[in-house]
Amino acid sequence: MQERGTTTEQDAPRWWWPTFTAVALIVAVPLIISGPGNDLDVGNVFRSGRSIARHLAYVPSRPPGAPVHETIVGILDLIGGPVLTNLASLAAAGVLVWALDRLLHDEGVGRAGRWGVALVAANPWFIIAATSTADYVFALMFCVLAALALRADRPVLAGVLAAAAMGSRVGSMTLIAAALFAELGTGRPARRRVLVTAVVCGLVTLVLFIPSAVHAGGLSFAQNDFSSSTPLVQLGRAVAKDLLLLGLPTVIVALAALPAVVTAIRSWSASWLVRFAVPGLVLSQVLFIRFPWKMAHLLPSLLCIAILYAVALKDRPRVLMAMVALQLLFAVVRIDVIQPDDANEASGGRLSPGISWGPVVTDWRCRRDHPHAYLGRQKEEIEVAWDCAAPYRN
């Protein structure tokens, strides 16, 4: 295994975790107590979880299923309802933040690593996912924990954790593949770790999705029947939401710092983080171009972006600090420059500069206005709440 960098106590100030925890709770509590969130699949996730926990019967929330997350939701909902399932997402976010901080620290990023972690934690779409009954944060948590286990030469554990990520969101395959690819670059001894991790992940994933196959009566559960538009329209939808992932002001700062990222990428052979983040970003973006739907689908890209900028700006943490500050502002205030011609099936857009409430404020207001939508019908209640909080609305 390649030698890793070290950091000093000065690089890891003691005030970090208490401050982060206090701020996170202040932001999270109003969202957590206002319902399980406005995600389009939240109602089906609860129905699937309740079927598992109360009847020991598996009904996927949507193809191909998310058995790990659905089971967690079912058990916790039975014990404490939506508040407890929301708190589980927040706990998963806390573990993810710790694991990402550990990964960056162990790979020698130094003080800038903390601001890279903060860039993820302060992102409005991450905040929304971390306070909702949704699987996005669980999947990211398991992916980063798998990377930590892989780097610690614990391939069996890494494979199990990677399978748990797949069992939360099958889209986790992009980050898992990136981690295995990065590990291969550490030299010949890594091949065994990569092989064991991949085999264990594959076998455990197959076992996890047996209930989906049984429910579907075959492999049809894994078939994709979601329609797509022309390649240009798909790309346009993805780019518009990519800009909205960080918000326009942060994107401008990120573009200004792009030369530093290019320089960091040149350290490809020496940096595990670069070998992970670049393929992870490319693969997650390719997947999003095919399915350019929810903003939370971009959280794997956010993770990779944060890692790249933490590596690139490890000697210029003030730029990362500025990006984090802009993310916090973006949670409250949103600046737009374009609007789609159809919020649900866009085939084009128009220039429409404007300022509105940020994603977190909007999501909280929609939770408050539709607190029990997840218990209702998909079209009449759940989709109304979704349309209320969606990034582009009719």
Lowest mean pLDDT, pick from 69-73, 107-111, 354-358? 107-111
Whole-angstrom distance, CA of residue 67 vs CA of residue 29: 27
Model confidence at 8, pLDDT cuts 50, 70, 90, reads very low
Q: Name the helix (H) or strand (E) containing 374.
A: none
Scanning 152-227, the segments in alpha helix (DSSP H) are 155-168, 173-184, 190-208, 210-216
Is 70 in contact with 61 (CB distance < 8 Å)?
Answer: yes
Model confidence at 216, pLDDT cuts 50, 70, 90, reads confident
* Mean pLDDT, all residues of the chain: 91
Q: What is the pLDDT of residue 112?
A: 83
Classify the phi-psi angles of 218: left when phi > 0, otherwise alpha if psi is within -120 to 50, otherwise beta.
left
Q: What is the pLDDT of residue 79?
A: 97
| Half-sphere exposure in the Cβ direction for 370 (13 Å, CA) | 25
Which amino acid does the sequence have at 100? L
Lowest mean pLDDT, pick from 10-24, 55-69, 142-156, 226-240? 10-24
Interval 176-204 mean pLDDT:
95
Whole-angstrom distance, CA of residue 246 vs CA of residue 253: 10
Indicate the length of the chain as a whole number.
394
Interval 142-158 mean pLDDT:
98
CA angle 222, 139, 3 (to 5 degrees): 120
Q: Provide the angle, in degrees to the nearest 10, between the axes of the packed helices 359-369 and 16-32.
A: 40
Is pLDDT of 349 > 80? no
Q: 248-303: per-residue pLDDT in tens?
A: 999 999 999 999 999 999 999 999 999 999 999 999 999 999 999 899 999 999 99
Model confidence at 3, pLDDT cuts 50, 70, 90, reads very low
Whole-angstrom distance, CA of residue 169 vs CA of residue 225: 17
Q: What is the pLDDT of residue 228?
A: 72
Whole-angstrom distance, CA of residue 138 vs CA of residue 92: 6
Whole-angstrom distance, CA of residue 189 vs CA of residue 165: 25
Q: What is the pLDDT of residue 95?
A: 97
Is 331 in contact with 360 (CB distance < 8 Å)?
Answer: yes
Which amino acid does the sequence have at 347? S
Model confidence at 14, pLDDT cuts 50, 70, 90, reads low
| Structural Rg of the chain based on CA atoms | 20
Interval 135-143 mean pLDDT:
98
Q: What is the pLDDT of residue 74?
A: 97
Is pLDDT of 394 > 60? no
Q: What is the pLDDT of residue 221?
A: 60
Interval 44-55 mean pLDDT:
96
Q: What is the pLDDT of residue 223?
A: 67
| Half-sphere exposure in the Cβ direction for 195 (13 Å, CA) | 5
Q: What is the pLDDT of residue 217?
A: 78
Interval 235-255 mean pLDDT:
94
Is pLDDT of 1 > 60? no
pTM: 0.93
* Strand ranges, E, within the chain: 333-340, 349-357
Of the two residues 227 and 108, the one the predictor is more confident about is 108
Closest by alpha carbon to 139, among 4, 302, 347? 302
Q: How many helices (H) and strands (E) does the chain have?
A: 18, 2
Model confidence at 17, pLDDT cuts 50, 70, 90, reads low
Helix (H, G, I), strand (E, B) or coil at 61: coil
Interval 338-363 mean pLDDT:
83
Q: What is the pLDDT of residue 18?
A: 74
Q: % helix / strand / coil in the chain, to the nearest 5?
A: 70, 5, 25
